[in-house]
Amino acid sequence: MTNPLNQVTIEEKTTIYDIKLHYFSELKNTDFDVEIQGLEESGGKISFSPRGGGSFFEFDNSDPDRVIAIATMMMSFAQMVKNGQKTCIETVKNNIAN
């Protein structure tokens, strides 16, 4: 007979992903790297947060290429979770302003 008090239950609730993208800003005429954090939560839900802290994104007087880059990363991550993939997704360069 098994004693239920000695039974350990381990359940994954959240998987954390670092999402990175290299993009070119026409406005600033230079290359940038941008990072966000994606969380795959139980029940197939997702959450995002800025990399390096903060709990929300604020786009105020923003570089359009940076906004496009962040939106592209969010879309790619959401599609990965939706499709049940656990691998890197390469974005097509035409989706990001060059």
Average pLDDT for 9-26: 93
pLDDT tens digits, residue range 27-62? 999 999 999 999 999 888 999 999 876 778 889 999
Confidence label for 90 from pLDDT (cuts 50, 70 and 90): low
pTM of the model: 0.77
Domain ranges, residue 68: 4-95
Closest CA to 25 of 34, 16, 17, 37: 34
80 has pLDDT over 70: yes
Question: Exposed (0-12), middle (13-18) or buried (19+): which is 77, by Cβ within 10 Å?
Answer: buried
Average pLDDT for 1-27: 87
Other Cβ atoms within 10 Å of 54 Cβ, number: 10
Q: Where is average pLDDT lowest: 11-15, 50-54, 67-71, 87-91?
A: 87-91
User: What is the total count of domains within the chain?
Assistant: 1
Which H/E stretch holds residue 37?
A: strand 30-41
